[in-house]
Structure 1
Amino acid sequence: MRQKPEFSEKREIIKFIEENDVKILNLCHIPENGRLKTLSFSATNKERVQEILEFGERVDGSNLFSYIEPDKSDVYITPRINRAFLNPFSATPTLNILCDYLDENGKPLEVAPKNVLARAEERLYSSTGIVLKALAEMEFYIISKNENETLFPSFPDKNYHESSPFAKFEDVRNEVLITLADIGIPTKYGHSEVGTVNRDGLTMEQHEIELLPQRLTEMAEAISITKWVIRNVCAKHGVSVSFSPKVALEHAGNGMHIHLCGIKNGKNIIVGRDGALSEKALKMIGGVLRFARSLTAFGNTVPVSYLRFISRKESPMHVCWGSRNRLALIRIPLWWSFKGKIESKNSCRRTFEYRAPDPLADAYLLFAGVTVAVDYALKNSREALRIAERLHVEKAGRKQKMLLPQSCFESAENLERDRGFYEAHGIFPRKVIDKTVERLKGYKDKDLWIRLAGKPSKIEEVLRHYLHYG
């Protein structure tokens, strides 16, 4: 039985359910916190299945979005027929269908993060003809209890691309790759990462799954489903997983680096005629740098996100860009230039890498913010090019560089300053910005890391608190 069947009509789903003895139909949806949610139905009654596929169902929006008040909380989830897959973790034959959110009038729910991103993408395309694509590097720690003495020990910061038996969870990671392919999530590769932590009877081993480029709405959805798959595969193997930006004080944190390119008329606009960065790419980089401090409100959403910046374990701290520099906020990875022409139609092999986000990011709002930044840059070319020139590390040398925020509180203040740009053209609803600021300031972490300086045990308490967020 194919785990990723192709459907274009409701009757095809009904036929598939009957022919494959599917017992459960799940309507799955992705709310504000990015975790895949599930509403389950018996699939044994054909008429009931037809009704579900036609109407979807009502759900309590106030428990899914902080932007929705309890007194007007009903929203609809409606199935997307072309986004169905067999649940690879269910012992009972189960079909999952991803859903969209609709308001009381059957229109796309304004505050749903996916719809915010859709408006941003539509605005960029209508004004420039450009479609942004992205791929995400998902870093995570697999966690298990130490039951026996390790025969092949690993060492901190030395685990990059390690193989078994030194990499303990290579089989878990490879099962994630296979499962993602089975349900229609294209991946680039997987490997062990630098981090390894052994303490308190636990082993924490860092890994990475890199996804293949997709349009931003598709990539944001893929990020949520990938985290769902990773957690379920780990549970199947009796281990846990953490996507926290920082799991231990002296060890590498988890990032979610984003590679970006722009496609116009089937061509990647990142590359100039001479094979170097194009002027449009420089403008795009300038735009992301211009909004870098407020973008952390969507890409770095918990206090430990900022400890990752401060610790400088291959993570950025300054707003700057450079070639291959892993401490820069934006870097230009190697492009296979010696191969000559490598781009095919709609190809995204050549990118620039935005290194601030972490796996607890709100991917939809982050990508919407990046899209706003790119749109602004292409309309304000001189400013964007000046920013790119001024913040190029190879040219700026030892000049004082602007820092990224050091706390959720500081990130919220930057979002408040830039909110007019995000709210312009109705892209970000005012209440989404309001609630984002409220949530970030609610952590009360303005000087948290200063207060905890020299108190490693207190810092470890904070790290444990966020170990299983996201």
Structure 2
Amino acid sequence: MPHDVFTPHPLVRLLGKPSAAFTCADLVEAVAQLELQQVNLRYLGGDGRLKTLAFPVDSREHLVEVLARGERVDGSSIFEGTGAATSDVYVVPRHRTAFVNPFGERPSLDVLCSFYDEDGAPLAYAGEQVVRRAAESLTRETGMVLEAFGELEYYLVGDVDALFPVEQERGYQESTPFSKGQRVREQVLGHLTAMGVRLKYAHGEVGNIKEPDRQLVQHEIELWPVPVEEAADALVLAKWVVREVAHAHGLEATFAPSVSSDGAGSGLHVHSRLVRDGASAIVDPDAEAINDTARRLVAGYLATSRALTAFGNTVATSYLRFAEGDESPEGICWGETDRTGLVRVPLAWLGGVVEGMATHANPGTDNPVPAPAIHPQTVELRLADGSADVHLLLAGMAVAARHGLTDPDSLELAERLRTDDHDDFEQLPRSCAESADALEAQRTLFEADGVFPAEVVDAVLARLRSDEDAALVKKMVRSDDARAELVRRHWHVG
């Protein structure tokens, strides 16, 4: 309920309604009551980072104009391949995304925006419009909604702690004082939940790297399943907040897929589920395992996985992670709880397991464990990393889901690519150039139903091929200096 004392979103508490129901008038009222001095229109650039257009609050008339109409911006400075002569585009606030900015010099209301062209039509090549079309196409074709959430891994980089030094590769869910950066994690949790981003949890990850003059400590935030359009926005906001909080603590945050030859890289595993009429479509009631709909979803991801790397693994160091990571995908295959495959079906409280565990842990109690509104089973795609263009990645996953659900050969493919059948599986691309070739081979699938405009696919292909990274990766194997230089080049991806 909007008035629930557990609701951390101050605008929801103030206005007494869920964020999905926010209107322009609601936000004007919130600005007045909270005495906010600035409105920031936030939008996603072609580089995957949040951009800011700041407006002073100097009159009600101006405030209403900004929140109702938005503004014009220069698209040629935001997106690749946009000509200056026709570059004016509109950014229009999505009122449901509003939050009170926890950073900055002046108390501000921030609102995420969508792009529109000169005729007022959705801007075809804007990431948030691509993922929206992908989601709508999937639902139109199948009657199901794809929900997703990311496991966002990152490193905090700072001075060496002489009192409690980090232990190499021993950071998994460690506690202070052995864990470094717990205050950062806790502040990130607080800010994101107050902004309306739903989370499951945060913890220290396995990667601990100790160097002579600094330490690198890995962390993870796991978000909450929401429709893919919202999931993409949530990941972008999470990366922004992590960087802001880390900077305030004098630490550097990086989401780079590879940070050192001595430690784990950072992935971006994405969990997903299909929902129909408010219920999970990938498990049957009282079932002990996933159903055929889930297997078709798995097959869709596997069938398109090589092409999906074009959106999820966008820099040369992404392919180092594939080659060297202990828990990186070893082949295009899947399994249940198996962390070596590309797709994993994790434990999800199937059957009567929950009641038995709860009773054993709490002897003498017989209160039933409440069932979640939607069954928590997910399908985890372990492909992407911190370099991902998350809007295009999640749009691509929706396309893959649609393909798996409608392809008559999906169940046979899923059965053939199980990890327990054999271990001779096709491999993921080994370079950005190979990734580009894979996307080009399947581009008609992604362009179908108008989801991915041809110019977006062309821009992705050109960017992937620009580095000639296959030669760079070979050079890195022979030279530590070459590797270090490439890691530095892609240190602040996304």
Q: TM-score, normalised by structure 1?
A: 0.95
CA positional deviation for 1:11: 2.4
CA distance, structure 1, for counterparts of residue 186 and residue 309 of structure 2 = 31
Query: How many residues were matched structurally?
Result: 464
CA deviation string 1:88-113 (max 9, x = no partner): 01231111111111110111111111
Unaligned runs of 5+ in 1: none
**Equivalent in the alignment of 2:77:** 63
Query: Which is worse superposed, 411-420 or 347-356?
Result: 347-356
Q: Distance in 1 between matches of 2:227 and 2:269?
A: 16
The answer to whether the Cα contact below 8 Å between 1:62 and 1:73 also exists between their aligned partners in 2 is yes
Q: Does the CA contact (< 8 Å) of 1:213 and 1:348 recur in 2?
A: no
Among 416, 437, 458, the alignment partner of 1:390 is: 416
1:428-443 to structure 2, matched below 5 A, reads 428-443=452-467
- The answer to whether the Cα contact below 8 Å between 1:142 and 1:234 also exists between their aligned partners in 2 is yes
Pick from 382, 386, 389: which aligns with 1:362?
Answer: 389
- Relative to the length of structure 2, the TM-score reads 0.91
CA spacing shift, 1:342–1:402, aligned 2, 3 Å: farther
Gap change, CA 1:459 and 1:91, over 3 Å in 2: same
Find the aligned partners of 1:8 and 1:191 in 2 and give their Cα distance: 32
Q: Decide which of 300, 313, 316 is 1:287's aligned counterpart.
A: 300
SS of the residue 1:412 aligns to: helix
Offset from partner CA, 1:121-163 (integer Å, 9 cap, x none): 11111111110111110000001133xx511122111110110
Detail structure 1 runs of 4+ shifted over 6 Å in the superposition: none
Distance in 2 between the 1:168 and 1:452 partners?
Answer: 30
Partner of 1:322: 335
Cα distance in 1 for partners of 2:11, 2:180 equals 30
Show the 5 A alignment for 1:331-370: 331-337=344-350, 338-339=353-354, 344-345=372-373, 347-370=374-397
Whether 1:188 and 2:212 are equivalent positions in the alignment is: no
Q: 1:311-330 deviations in whole A, cap 9, x for unaligned?
A: 03211131111121112101
2:277 is aligned with 1:251: no
For the Cα contact (< 8 Å) 2:38–2:54, is it kept in 1? Answer: yes
Aligned-pair distance for 1:409?
Answer: 0.5
Number of the residue aligned with 2:142: 128
TM-superposed CA distance for 1:16, in Å, is 2.3
Asked whether the 8 Å contact 2:11–2:30 carries over to 1, the reply is no
The counterpart of 1:222, out of the listed 230, 234, 257, is 234
In 2, the alpha carbon distance for the partners of 1:189 and 1:259 equals 14
Instruction: State how 1:364-379 maps to structure 2 within 5 Å.
Output: 364-379=391-406
Q: Any residues of structure 2 matched to 1:64-83 within 5 Å, and which?
A: 64-83=78-97
For 1:305, the equivalent position in structure 2 comes to: 318
- Name the SS for the 2:338 alignment partner: coil
- Alignment-derived partner of residue 155 in structure 2: 141
**Distance in 1 of aligned mates of 2:371 and 2:340:** 28
Spell out, residue by residue over 1:198-243, the C-alpha distance to the aligned partner (whole angstroms, 9 max, x if none).
2141111000010011100000000000011111111111111000
Identity %: 38
> What corresponds to 1:453 in structure 2?
477
C-alpha distance in 1 between matches for 2:457 and 2:105: 41
| Contact kept? 1:27, 1:38, Cα under 8 Å | yes
- Which amino acid letter does the alignment assign opposite residue 99 of structure 1? C
Q: How do 1:81-230 residues align onto structure 2 when only pairs under 5 Å count?
A: 81-146=95-160, 150-230=162-242
